[in-house]
Amino acid sequence: MAPKAAALAEAERLMEAFRRAGALPVEADILQPAEVLLDLYGEDIRARTYVTADPLRGEMMLRPDFTVPVVQQHMTEGAEPARYCYAGEVFRKQEHLSDRRSEYVQVGYEVFTRDDPADADAEVFSLFNAVLGDLHLRAATGDIAILMAAVRALNTLPSRKAALLRHIWRPRRFTQLLARFGGTAPVPPTRATLLEALAAGRTPEAGPLLGLRSRAEIDARLAALREDAAAPPISAEEVARLQDLLDLTARSPAALAQLRELSREMPAILPAVDRMEARLNALARRGVDVEALDFEASHGRTTLEYYDGFVFSFHAADPALPPVASGGRYDALTAVLGAGRSIPAVGGVIRPGLVADLRGAPC
């Protein structure tokens, strides 16, 4: 691994490139309010972050990335349009003992603009492609908006669609839910027992309430379970089409053609597919070889959960290494953090320590 000094030197080189591209350097506190991230992502985020308690500010997290605090700063005081860059340490727990660091330097570039989102996507990707070009990395792209549109169009209960959307970033759980909603996987035993009791007219005995849910919330949950049990399964045809979409992997032009074909039976994805075509045209205008650019429909499903459109990453030849860079579009996040305001936004991050390692590696 490159020493920290090499990572910081690489970070400054990248920051200079981002400043030349028009970005304003910004900073973010290392300690971030835990409540914000927990509200955005739920308790799952705890497994990936370092949490501590502050006697005055409550529960805090060591900064897991920069995007959320940068969005908060922009939505509070930023002008439009805006471009920001930043560099500093972030902290991520590792699930297994390995050479991956839990503390490393991150450099990023974010664009907030209402003008031509496809060109803004292309701006970020092409800039990263340029500053990392000498490393000969493999770039991969995807589009979460296409997946979301397909899920929202399913002919099933709104509650089922909401559950699938919530777990798009957890592929294993998503697959389990899709199988259950499609009638090809059994209902979990505990739920089956409860449904049998409800069907027989037996309701949970009244007693002391444990936990944070009120009696009204419990009753609403039981009603939702009854509705789900009575609903017909998602058709096999819809499940198969969605699986075909999830499995799609090809060079971008071929992927676009396949998505056009899928949109004949899944018309809800057509607006997102049109945006993908506009983005590919914008990338080509900026000198990116889209003919060689990989598209994976499921790409980005294991990242932090604020991406809701174009996603991308750059990878070294060694599959054991984490992505050298990654990013994407996160329009919905600006609405969540904007207190009634929102603005289209896209950005990405680079690991300068990993860049320094690769630059020092023998060819």
Beta partners for residue 138, in sequence order: 315
Burial of 315 (0-12, 13-18, 19+ CB in 10 A): middle
Please give the pLDDT value at position 93: 79
Please give the pLDDT value at position 244: 95
| 47: helix, strand or coil | helix
Which CATH number covers residue 343?
3.30.930.10
Residue 329 lies in a domain: yes
Please give the pLDDT value at position 363: 41
How far, in Å, are 33, 39, 75, 135 from residue 337 at the CA level?
Answer: 13, 11, 7, 36
Residue 119 lies in a domain: yes
| 289: helix, strand or coil | coil
Residue 8 lies in a domain: yes
pTM of the model as a whole = 0.88
Residues 137-187 pLDDT 10s: 999 999 999 999 999 999 999 999 999 999 998 899 999 999 999 988 776
Please give the pLDDT value at position 52: 85
Residue 150 lies in a domain: no
Residue 237 lies in a domain: no
State the Cα–Cα distance between residues 363 and 358, nearest whole angstrom: 9
Residues 178-197 pLDDT 10s: 999 998 877 676 666 665 66
CB 128 within 8 A of CB 282: no
Count structural domains, the chain.
1
Residue 14 lies in a domain: yes
Strand order in the sheet with 58-62: 31-33, 58-62, 51-54
Identify each DSSP E strand in 75-158 by its residue range. Answer: 82-91, 103-112, 138-143
Residue 160 lies in a domain: no
Proportion of the chain above pLDDT 70, given as a percent: 85
How large is the average pLDDT for residues 46-66? 85
CB 152 within 8 A of CB 269: no
CB 238 within 8 A of CB 154: yes
Mean pLDDT of the chain: 88
Residues 268-298 pLDDT 10s: 999 999 999 999 999 999 999 999 999 999 9
Residue 238 lies in a domain: no
Q: C-alpha dihedral over 60, 62, 67, 73, to 10 degrees? A: 50
Residue 213 has pLDDT above 70, yes or no: no
Please give the pLDDT value at position 50: 87
Residue whose C-alpha is closest to residue 181's, from 228, 237, 242, 245: 228
Range of the domain at 84: 4-28+63-137+316-360
